[in-house]
């Protein structure tokens, strides 16, 4: 926002703020948060006839969120619940 010299508050701040809070609580890395914003927007607008997003794109975005969440749960399980256990699942980040 600072580099643009202007800010559209609803779009640049308010729209992302609740999602940022949820992702922070879930431990989603900062680098992945833009993906979540795109996925959630795709899911929300898939039912809007004025948007150029298909229902299939919304379903695919939902699948991406579910896959990410499962990978995050596996990572947390092995790093927090079983800190002495190693897993091949941790070789790649979600």
3-state secondary structure of 16: coil
Please say if the pLDDT value at position 2 is more than 80: no
Packing angle between helix 33-45 and helix 17-26, nearest 10 degrees? 120
Distance, in Å, from the CA atom of 33 to the CA atom of 16, rounded to the nearest integer, reads 10
What are the sequence ranges of the domains in the chain?
Answer: 9-91
Distance, in Å, from the CA atom of 58 to the CA atom of 26, rounded to the nearest integer, reads 22
- Quote the pLDDT of residue 64: 96
Selected residue with higher pLDDT from 93 and 52: 52
Q: How confident is the model at residue 94 (pLDDT cuts 50, 70, 90)?
A: very low
Burial of 45 (0-12, 13-18, 19+ CB in 10 A): middle
Q: Which residue has the tokens 């680098």?
A: 31
Q: What is the pLDDT of residues 34-80, one digit of tens each?
A: 999 999 989 988 888 887 788 899 999 999 999 999 998 888 887 77
């Amino acid at each position: 926002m600072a580099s643009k010299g202007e800010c559209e508050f609803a779009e640049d701040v308010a729209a992302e703020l609740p999602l940022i809070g949820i992702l922070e609580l879930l431990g989603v890395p900062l680098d992945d948060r833009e993906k979540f914003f795109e996925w959630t927007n795709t899911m929300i607008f898939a039912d809007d006839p004025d948007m150029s997003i298909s229902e299939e794109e919304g379903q695919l975005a939902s699948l991406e969120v579910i896959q990410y969440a499962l990978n995050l749960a596996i990572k947390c399980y092995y790093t927090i619940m079983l800190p002495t256990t190693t897993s091949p699942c941790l070789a790649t980040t979600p």
